[in-house]
Amino acid sequence: MRGSLVVFSSLTWNTEKTPRISQLSGARCKRGFRLIVPASPPIEDSVIGTEPLTKEDLVKYLSSGCKPKEKWRIGTEHEKFGFKFGSLRPVEYEQIADLLNGLSERFDWEKIMEGDHIIGLKQGKQSISLEPGGQFELSGAPLETLHQTCAEVNSHLYQVKAVAEEMGIGFLGIGFQPKWGLKDIPVMPKGRYEIMRNYMPKVGSLGLDMMFRTCTVQVNLDFSSESDMIRKFRAGLALQPIATALFANSPFTEGKPNGYLSMRSRIWSDTDNNRTGMLPFVFDDSFGFEQYVGYALDVPMYFVYRNKKYIDCTGMSFRDFMVGKLPPIPGDLPTLNDWENHLTTIFPEVRLKRYLEMRGADGGPWRRLCALPAFWVGLLYDEVSLQNVLDMTADWTPEERQMLRNKVPEMGLKTPFRDGLLWHVVEDVVKFAKDGLERRGYKEAGFLNALTEVVKTGVTPAEKLLELYDGKWEQSVDPVFEELLY
């Protein structure tokens, strides 16, 4: 998630040996701007511009994601911590490389290399990638139904378990590394992560924790038009703290309770304020694709990718890049692929690409990996539920939205809100989601069952872990590696 590149559904790859010219789906490209699509899509160099980009090109890139409702899809990404049976220590890169090679050989995944290092796998529209501390991420294919999404999750976990168990490795579904400190986490050999690792301490106190010790589950959803994008963006941002509370699952740091229910969410509040947060401008009357482009143009860059190498551009803006003012490569101008990469380095609670990403949930066990897409699909892919959310949140002030973002990581559903608790708002929101799924007609509402007890009791997954810690586990976090083992 932290800067990983996921091609969702907009490019059509040419299987011939000779590249051909294609266009952005749904966009009229300025002055014949074109994409050259190679025979097999490399991860970083998939889009090459032939003329200088303009701001209008960047706006059209985002708007090219618009698609009719019958083509809306569900994309789910989830991360998990690898650990060694026995010692419970994080898995080093060498073992991860063996795991990736094993998955490739046994289950026919294509290898993704960076230099001599295997750093991921690809199969159809799915990919497996490594996060900075070795967190193992599946970026799922864009699918039509939640049944397909949950089947994809189950298939992935089966494959990983089949290879990993033979190696003495397990995977943990939790939002923050519960036992080990930063010094104990291995560093993955990916060029972009070295740049980020050097930059993070300059812009926040918890950026390295974000990179090396957090795991999330994320849902990617489509929109039909700019106005539909705006409505979904606003609903998603307003309700992101509710998703954080429902899926809060990271109460431990280095073997002890950390005072939060979602330490993962807390960490994002002091990672890099230039690229994170609740984006109040999304609720302005003037908001649209152009305004998001304006925001992204001024978010400091991390890198550009040239000749199979990452070049450090930290502190410079994409706006500078547009006029050739990047000191490491003076005069060079960006391509659409540079823009696509830059958008992946922006980390608000909801992120806009050619689809919308819901980013507020902790990693967790497999049932909640299916519940999160169910939650957001029921709310955002059903017109009645979406309007219900917009009506409910219409008079929430920017200060109230930010208060929820600040307080929920610590207090969960017991966060005070207006004349009651957030818990009572959540009851309505989950009902909206359930009703929306029932109107879809795919018999998907059962995927929300993992949230039913949370809504009924007001007790988050993190609070259940804390109860076990103080009781059955006798104040040891080691049993969590069995409790939340995939």
Question: What is the SS3 string spanning 149-167?
Answer: HHHHHHHHHHHHHHHHHHH
Q: What is the pLDDT of residue 367?
A: 87
Q: What is the pLDDT of residue 467?
A: 98
Total number of residues shown for the chain: 486
Residues 6+ away with beta carbon under 8 Å from 155: none
- Look at residue 33 and tell me whether its pLDDT is greater than 80: no
Share of the chain above pLDDT 70, in %: 90
- Provide the mean pLDDT of the chain: 91
Q: What are phi and psi of 166, to 5 degrees?
A: -65, -20
Range of the domain at 443: 55-299+346-484
State which H helix or E strand residue 449 sits in: helix 449-457
- List the one residue out of 208, 206, 166 whose CA is nearest residue 187: 208
- The answer to the question of residue 311 being in a domain is no
Q: What is the pLDDT of residue 110?
A: 98
Please state the rounded mean pLDDT for residues 39-64.
71
Q: What is the pLDDT of residue 459?
A: 97
- The answer to the question of residue 27 being in a domain is no
Please state the rounded mean pLDDT for residues 295-324.
95
122-156: pLDDT as tens digits? 999 999 999 999 999 999 999 999 999 999 999 99
Please state the rounded mean pLDDT for residues 167-180.
98
Q: What are phi and psi of 293, to 5 degrees?
A: -60, -45
Here the tokens at position 298 are 């001024």
- The answer to the question of residue 403 being in a domain is yes
Q: What is the pLDDT of residue 10?
A: 35
Share of the chain above pLDDT 90, in %: 87
Rounded CA separation 38/41 (Å): 6
Rounded CA separation 321/338 (Å): 10
Rounded CA separation 262/216 (Å): 11
- Look at residue 345 and tell me whether its pLDDT is greater than 60: yes
- The answer to the question of residue 286 being in a domain is yes
Q: What is the pLDDT of residue 42?
A: 38
- The answer to the question of residue 168 being in a domain is yes
- The answer to the question of residue 214 being in a domain is yes
CATH of the domain at 266: 3.30.590.20
Please state the rounded mean pLDDT for residues 366-384.
97
Rounded CA separation 46/143 (Å): 22
- Look at residue 2 and tell me whether its pLDDT is greater than 60: no
263-304: pLDDT as tens digits? 999 999 999 999 999 999 999 999 999 999 999 999 999 999
- Look at residue 481 and tell me whether its pLDDT is greater than 70: yes
Residue 185, sorted as left (phi over 0), alpha (psi -120 to 50) or beta, turns out to be beta
- The answer to the question of residue 358 being in a domain is yes
Task: Please check whether residue 140 is in contact with residue 80, taking contact to mean a CB–CB distance below 8 angstroms.
Answer: no
Residues 6+ away with beta carbon under 8 Å from 395: none
Q: What is the pLDDT of residue 50?
A: 55
Here the tokens at position 25 are 């789906």
Q: What is the pLDDT of residue 40?
A: 32
- Supply angle C-alpha 15, 149, 222, rounded to 5: 70
Tell me which amino acid residue 94 is. Answer: E
- Look at residue 479 and tell me whether its pLDDT is greater than 50: yes
Rounded CA separation 100/215 (Å): 19
- Look at residue 37 and tell me whether its pLDDT is greater than 80: no
Please state the rounded mean pLDDT for residues 32-61.
59
The count of domains in the chain is 1
Burial label for 201, CB within 10 Å (0-12, 13-18, 19+), is exposed
